[in-house]
Amino acid sequence: MARYRVTGEGGTVVDKTTKEGTFPWPVGGVAVYTGGPFGIVSDNHRGAIIAGVYFTSPSPQNDAEGRIQHIDSTGQLLWGVSGKIFTPDADVETFPTLVSDGASGALVAWDDTTNGKRARYVARFNQDGEMRWKTKGFRLWLRTVNGPPIFSNDMGSIMWLVNDFSTRQGDLYAFRVDSSGYISWGSNGVLIRYRDFEEWPYFLEVTSDGRGGFIAVWSERRGPGWQNLVLQQISVNGKLGDVITRVENVVNVWQRPQNFLLFHTFPNPSNPATKINFSLRHPSKIQINVINIRGDLVTTLADGQFVSGKHELYWSGRNYNGKEVSSGVYFIQMLVDGRAQVRKHLLIH
């Protein structure tokens, strides 16, 4: 497990700290020249992908371009000294956000004033630094606002919420684009709030529902009186309150053309230790991670070569620093040859 520290404006510097507290990269970090403000996400191979706004001229011109860079686990820049350009029309109000595409690349969302109109765009870069879908990304929302919640559902999709400030109701929309570029909830998004109230929400937060959708919570004041908390769930199907309860029952799984199987944890729920079994058809290099409901890496239980057959691991309910984690939902992720299997686990103290 590594922690990254990113500093600087035009000459953005990335540093890395291992779980043992060592600094494997050169003193002072590695300059990536992506600028700031910036976004950063793991590449799932102990490296990182960074996006930022790099100013090519001083104030008052403030000409800028959006740059994205891939740095590997050893601190090497993989996409050239200056990275790749995701937009030539960035400005001081552009805030790029990154999520993993689930395959060593990333999806980047940003807003700029292309053709004189401010709009929100999204693009995908694969592990080789190639922009997919369109050469300049594609537009998703015309009436953009800065800093909307943007997040991943851990399935290679990017989702975000947008307040439409052009209406007095403060309409709230949700959008989703998967790693293939499919806009599954439509180009106009899903309307999840349409109310006339006195003030804008004081805060807006989201969390995964564990099934490809999310739950949003915000505060608002409807008329005189106390501030209210409001929650809404949006399923992976883009429907409000559509709680997915059906789970595919996989039988005779070894008859399918796959080379590994991650079994369900036992006991589940656990307090705190649980057993994790997995099987390999062939000797393989594997990685088994524990991920929390926000998509953060909690710890890595296995990372290396294993022989064929059935294997058994234990998770003690602790993170990479050896500290007990809080009660809640966690995901056991097994990675083999670029493919993944995930099992849901509930930890109770």
Residue 108 has pLDDT above 80, yes or no: yes
pLDDT (0 to 100) of residue 288? 94
DSSP for 99-163, please give it: EE-SSS-EEEEEEE-GGGS-EEEEEEE-TTSPEESSTT-EEEESS--SS--EEE-SSS-EEEEEE
Domain 253-347 has CATH 3.40.50.1370: no
Question: Which pLDDT tens digit goes with each residue over 41-57?
Answer: 888 788 889 988 888 87
> Worst-scoring range by mean pLDDT, 132-141, 212-221, 334-343?
132-141
Instruction: Measure the N-to-C terminal CA separation of the chain; round to a whole number of Å.
Output: 24
Answering whether pTM is above 0.85, one says: no
pLDDT (0 to 100) of residue 250? 41
Q: What is the largest CA-CA distance in the chain?
A: 66
Question: Which pLDDT tens digit goes with each residue over 269-283?
Answer: 888 889 999 988 888
Helix (H, G, I), strand (E, B) or coil at 62: coil
Helix (H, G, I), strand (E, B) or coil at 313: strand
Residue 264 has pLDDT above 60, yes or no: yes
pLDDT (0 to 100) of residue 317? 92
Alpha carbon distance 227, 72 (integer Å):
47
Confidence of residue 218 (pLDDT cuts 50, 70, 90): confident
73 vs 44 pLDDT, higher one: 73
Helix (H, G, I), strand (E, B) or coil at 254: helix
Q: Where are the domains of the chain?
A: 1-138, 148-246, 253-347
Q: Give the Å distances, CA to CA, from 160 to 44, 174, 194.
A: 22, 6, 17
> Worst-scoring range by mean pLDDT, 12-16, 80-84, 341-345?
12-16
Residue 114 has pLDDT above 70, yes or no: no
pLDDT (0 to 100) of residue 1? 37
